């Protein structure tokens, strides 16, 4: 899985002070990877642009759902209940919805056989959307505060009015989850 934000973007867009070639830069590099992974774990999929190959179970219908979206293109699609996958369907025998990842076959019902569909396709975001980058940056900021001691070991603090504020401990942050909710897929197969 690729990083969802770069160190240069943290410096220029979000104003992080990261000296090139320093220990701080190495720390932030690790935080970028960790926060990107935490955000992708929350949404349940990789958001970066990549090639995917999936084997899908047949469902007795003419439609099935891809794991990754948005779908950019489908390279090869083969339906074979014997699992040989020697023949690919021509592009005029199916269509796909880029946003949902639903593939509809024309004139074919997929037999209810395990792993009888093989599909290779390109999916993901390029460039990564700004709200995803903001979610990752917010999570990095929380992680950096925990590591550098600005809030190290502190889980709550007393406010001036006597109330108590709980500090976030888990990645991604609540704000990041709010930003990422539109990218989360709640699909039951």
Going from the C-alpha of 9 to that of each of 16, 111, 187, the distances in angstroms are 9, 48, 32
Residue 170: what pLDDT? 78
Res 15: pLDDT = 94
Residue 180: cis peptide before it, omega within 30 degrees of 0: no
Q: Compute φ and ψ for 20, nearest 5 degrees.
A: -60, 135
For the segment 119-135, what is each residue's pLDDT rounded down to a tens digit? 999 999 999 999 999 99
Total-model pTM: 0.81
pLDDT in tens, 79-119: 999 999 999 999 999 999 999 999 999 999 999 999 999 99
Residues 120, 51: contact at Cβ < 8 Å? yes
Please state the domain extents for the chain: 7-46+127-183, 50-123
* pLDDT at residue 166 in the model: 66
- Token pair for 181: 């909710």
Q: What is the pLDDT of residues 133-186, one digit of tens each?
A: 999 999 999 898 888 765 555 566 677 888 876 666 678 999 999 999 999 976
pLDDT of residue 55: 97
Cα–Cα distance, 45 to 185 (Å, whole number): 8
pLDDT at residue number 8? 96
């Amino acid at each position: 899985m690729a990083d969802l934000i770069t160190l240069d973007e943290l410096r220029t867009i979000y104003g992080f002070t990261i000296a090139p070639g320093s220990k701080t830069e190495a720390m932030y590099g690790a935080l970028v990877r960790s926060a990107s992974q935490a955000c992708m774990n929350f949404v349940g999929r990789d958001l970066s642009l990549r090639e995917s190959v999936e084997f899908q179970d047949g469902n007795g219908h003419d439609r099935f759902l891809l794991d990754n979206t948005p779908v950019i293109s489908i390279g090869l699609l083969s339906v074979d209940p014997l699992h040989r996958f020697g023949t690919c369907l021509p592009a005029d025998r199916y269509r796909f919805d880029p946003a949902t990842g639903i593939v509809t076959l024309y004139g074919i019902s997929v037999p209810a056989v395990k792993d009888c569909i093989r599909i290779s396709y390109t999916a993901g975001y390029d460039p990564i959307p700004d709200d995803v980058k903001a979610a990752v940056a917010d999570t990095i900021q929380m992680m950096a505060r925990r590591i550098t001691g600005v809030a190290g070991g502190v889980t709550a603090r007393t406010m001036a009015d006597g109330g108590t504020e709980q500090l976030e401990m888990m990645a991604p942050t609540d704000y990041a989850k709010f930003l990422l909710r539109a990218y989360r897929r709640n699909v039951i197969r």
